[in-house]
Structure 1
Amino acid sequence: MGKQLFDRQQKAQVVPFFQNGSYYYRRALKAYRVEHNLEKASKLLKRAAALEPDNSNFLSQLAMIYTEMGNYQESNEILTDIMEKVDPTMIDCHYFMANNYAHLGLFHQAYKSATAYSTEAPDGDFIEDNEELLDLLMIEGEDEDPSFEDSDELIIKQETARSLLENGKLDEAIALLHEIIEEFPEFWSAYNNLSLAYFYSGNVEKAKHYLELVLELNEGNLHALCNLLVFYYYERKDPEVHALTERLSIVHPIMVEHRYKLGATFALIGKYDLAFKWLRSLQRQGFEGDDTFFYWLSYSAWHLGQEELAKSAWARVIRENPSKAGSEPWENRSSLKDMSLQERLTLVYIASKSNQLEEIRHHHALKPQSELEKEFLKQTMTRDADVSSTGARLFFAAEALKHQLGSIEEKTFLSFFEMMLKANAAKLSLKNSHAWSAAFYYLFKQKSGERVTKTEAAHAFGVTVSTLTKYERLVQSL
């Protein structure tokens, strides 16, 4: 039996399965063109390039896939290797690198690469696109600091700051972005992100300051103009919104990132026809957007009566971000009725500071659910409520806190109103509203790790240290 098995094994020769790079390249093209699977295509191209590391065609296709995936730095690393080690005559790499640098916000580097392409390939296949890119870079700031040439550190910091912003770590993002603009004073992307970070944290004045700084030094910066339009919208500056919308409606950017920015901005301010133009065109071009992209596409389509497309786009939103379930554009619910009192007070107060109170009353049919809320709303809107009412005292306390914080963060004021409502429920007097605010402020700063003495806190709110200590104990007991 053993000899027979051995003989059979001898006859059954193992034929090794080996494929060259072209095999994986063809599979990658199928994954890309037919299946529209960028991840699969990139893995197959990496295998092809590993088998034939000197094949510039395999490498350049992998770089293009990385660009579509948003991996701009990885794409440029491959393109640089092609130019330096594999095929220096592949001049098109300059154009592709210019686009990648532009996506990263490194406009100085983008300008250098685009200029190199114009010089070395004046009759190249991409010369018209390259000239359009150069024109756009003239708008976006081709005169950035030459120190961007050594940009690895900057790219790492920029990506870290972006990640901090996306994850809501605003204080850390602000600190890092200040560090970036100090080191690279003409890196406009950092200014724009810093402006957004301040806006998200509720400090609208600082947010506008950095936007205005960008537009003063780099007039025509598209991201800054879009962000400014959003700020105007939230401040209810209708004439400014109209004027800037008109200005941006005739802009025709060539870069995907800028088209996305325009589309999302128009959708956010309710200009759904303009938003749909850009977002739908990107989708038709095969743009692989994130959940935010499909969110705004769904809203734009719905408001233009394209229900099937809206629902299809929303399915992508839920697939990528299930937490969005319930916020479909066709849902016509008044969420205020489901809010707690502290949430309603917070919403009303913050809305009053951003000139959106009338809009909330209109869309949500805001009706006070208690005498306390009625007095608070009256004081917020007219400033002529009975100053001895509980609602008015809640308003005065919030005003004192806001004055010292300098900004409004929703979670902070949710906690503040929760504390004040607990005090009211416990039959504690709210007459000394500044003392309640001082105690909350002092404990808030302590919890945040910020150094502030009782003397400083008491002085800021116009109360004595002994009064602050008394109310501190009350707050802690709640």
Structure 2
Amino acid sequence: MNKDNIISLNQNGESYYRQGIKKRQQNNKKEALQLLKKAYDKNPDNPDYLSEYAYVMAENGLGNEAEHLLIDAFVKDDYDASYFQALSELNIIRQDANKAFLYGVSYAAYSEDNSYRQQLEEMFEVEIDNEAELEKEAERIIGQQIFQHLFMNAKVDEALDYLTTLPSDIQTENEFRNLKAMAYLFLNKFDEARALLEQLLEDDQTDMHALSHMTLLHYHTNEIEKYESYLKKLEVVEPLDDDARFKVGLVLNFLQKYEHAYRLLFPLYKKQRVMNFQLLHALSFSSFHLGKTEESKSYWTKMQNFHQLDEKFSPWKKSEAANQILSLEEKYLNDDDQHKRLLALYLISKIEPKEAIIGLSIWNRIEELDDYEKLYVSFLFQGLKLVRLGRMHIGLELLYDKGFTEEDTLLMWIDIFHDLYEVHKEFDDVESYVAAVLYSYHSQKKLTKKYLVETFNTTNYRLNKAIEHLKQI
């Protein structure tokens, strides 16, 4: 067979790149997108692959996602200002003249490329009256975008650090002080956030961003009366612009005021004025809780283009988890038997995502539990170190990890553990005692000692010793 007739399927990034450029020149945008994505996937660090892929994404209606991709690369590359040229070109394709010009101005200033600057002025037909103010406005826009990018990717400390790199006069502007307060809130630095927000509201009582953040502050610090007072202001006052509408909508969505949040946020999505991870995430939750399940899933899918998030955090999976928690509350947590209540707490801790428990009425029931059970709550959710309950928990984890997840089996361990602890308080060999309990009391099937020794990483001697101790209780 003539090897020259064989088409190689192991193409490198350069081959896909050349084919993609050719398809783009032929105005075949969909095929160009597929090919340039393959080139980018082969070598995401190649700036040519990245920029051309971003441009063709925008030409296929994925401009917001393309901008996110470029900003992500800019952040990863230590804020290399050469990316501003690609961001400028991208926004020309998107027909966002303001961003295109401001990114271009920043690139020209960074690179000292006067010809590029002249091209921008001719393209956008502008005459610059105040050069310093223009460059300051560019710094503001870019500063806001980079902060939001870091913040929404859960890099909150980095977002705060980035703010300190901006000129001091920009840092003191209301917009950036609000961003700083938002980051402090997220990091539970409530005193720092309160100081900033009180000053912002003293300067301007109608600052919707500060009102939104102060509402969240009172919510997190459990200042009920103040929280309700500020919430009423948010629900009554109509935001004056899209930026304020976006902020208030996000806060109301977080506070589970889904109908009002959707009413504020959906028009922004429809007009394509704002399109980012936060908007799509909020719309996915608000629409789901308004019964718009398919719409919610559509937002969730589009959101993945900005930031990948496991489906377990989706509104429908969180709803399933919340229902499981409430079912366990009804089945075991309200029982008179303390050991069943401990079982409920353990099973609740296994439900993913753990955030599903936030805001549920179950916390009212937990507040009514006795001190022993509250200690277990602190152990499960706050990392409190405990000896007695810690050993009980190790046993439950061993059973769960080895597939013995039946509630009757887990409850049996809790019951026998407490009886055993009264007799042998200092036992550390939890593995052998779990195996002994299964050998002696497991009712569904007879388990051999050989199987239990291998499964629970113990020895025949230790297992037999544990079985003898069980006979003493």
> TM-score per shorter chain, which class?
0.3 to 0.5
Bigger relative contact order, structure 1 or 2 (CA pairs below 8 A, ≥6 apart): 1
So what's the TM-score if we normalise by structure 1? 0.46
